[in-house]
Copies of this chain bind each other. A is one copy, B any other.
């Protein structure tokens, strides 16, 4: 019997609904495979928790999670219209990413059959991109401050900090990933024409790491024209490696191109498994949809699929991916974001049945 310990954070907005859907899928997998068990411990750390306690999680939150011996963390979206976003995000998600050294944010962007893309000629454009985003520093290092607050001569500084270790390891991850998954190209997303300190350094490290993978083809694209390339020639984009902010921006664009924010999954990985990794849909908390049973649970369920793959449950992961693909291809059950009228519950049931 394989036993996995999961920490589950329903978090904010539609989080509880899509997380419930994800747990239902886990239950179904347990039923189908006698040999696996997912023990879920729920944490109510969220904006509601903040309203009660004045913090998004207890002061010793990270230690509690470490002590819990979790194999993975499954999280809903974080953020509430009632609290400034930097407080909710730095109070929970960003602190976990940094604290647990989840230095890779892995984001597949694949247009599945049955899903409409906003692009013309989707047939000519098989979209299948993988964003490998640096997730521990860079633009989100959190370093900076404000001087002369409120004065006419106020200055606000946010420092982008790149270290060689963190830059090298995410690039190595990208090349290893490309090799292991049979990808042909790794694109370096840069902006070294205008950002002459951090991005020139980034490009140098990319060149150095690339030299260690002579069989993987590479190219380089400025982040601004990368958006144009993704829209006009998505078929030329394969794996790309990008800084924290650039990966964030490009993966939202990629999610939109592959049909819906309601489909896009992500994995915040600590590849060395010193700390648990975190799996989460990339969409927001969408307070306007709360309690209506209309949110698309696929993004969260697909994140569970990435968790299974990361935990080494290759067969379960393949089976779940197949179920997701079947439901989307058959188009009988479609949530609003996909142009249908099905509920979260119906979509979840369809995935469970397809399993």
* Copies of the polypeptide in the assembly: 2
Which single residue of chain B is at the shortest CB-CB distance from A137? B155
Tell which of A85, A117, A251 has the most Cβ of chain B within 10 Å: A85
The yes or no answer to A1 lying at the interface (CB within 8 A) is: no
**Which residues 130-177 in A have Cβ within 8 Å of B in the complex?**
139-140, 142, 144-146, 151-165
The yes or no answer to A289 lying at the interface (CB within 8 A) is: no
A228 is contacted by which of B142, B200, B256 (Cβ under 8 Å)?
B256
Contact across chains for B196 and A86 when beta carbons are under 8 A apart: yes
> Hey, what's the 0/1 contact readout for A214-243 against B, CB within 8 Å counting as 1?
000000000111011001100000000000
Assembled-state Cα–Cα distance A146/B159 (Å): 13
The yes or no answer to A261 lying at the interface (CB within 8 A) is: yes
The distance from the CB of A287 to the nearest CB of chain B, in whole angstroms, is 14
Contact across chains for A224 and B197 when beta carbons are under 8 A apart: no
A248 is contacted by which of B196, B224, B257 (Cβ under 8 Å)?
B224
Chain B residues with CB under 8 Å of A146's CB are 197, 201
Contact across chains for B159 and A159 when beta carbons are under 8 A apart: yes
Chain B residues with CB under 8 Å of A224's CB are 248-249, 251-252
Which single residue of chain B is at the shortest CB-CB distance from A203? B84
Assembled-state Cα–Cα distance A250/B223 (Å): 10
Contact across chains for A152 and B165 when beta carbons are under 8 A apart: yes
Which single residue of chain B is at the shortest CB-CB distance from A145? B197
Assembled-state Cα–Cα distance A232/B198 (Å): 32
The yes or no answer to A3 lying at the interface (CB within 8 A) is: no
- CB within 8 Å for A142 and B249 given contacts A201-B154, A231-B231, A256-B231: no
**Which residues 252-272 in A have Cβ within 8 Å of B in the complex?**
252-253, 255-257, 261
Contact across chains for B245 and A228 when beta carbons are under 8 A apart: no
The yes or no answer to A179 lying at the interface (CB within 8 A) is: no
Assembled-state Cα–Cα distance A84/B170 (Å): 24
- 6 smallest beta-carbon distances between A and B, as pairs: A85-B193, A144-B197, A228-B256, A156-B201, A158-B198, A227-B253
Task: List residues of A whose CB falls within 8 A of some B CB.
Answer: 79, 84-86, 88-90, 94, 116-120, 139-140, 142, 144-146, 151-165, 191-202, 223-225, 227-228, 231-232, 245, 248-253, 255-257, 261, 284
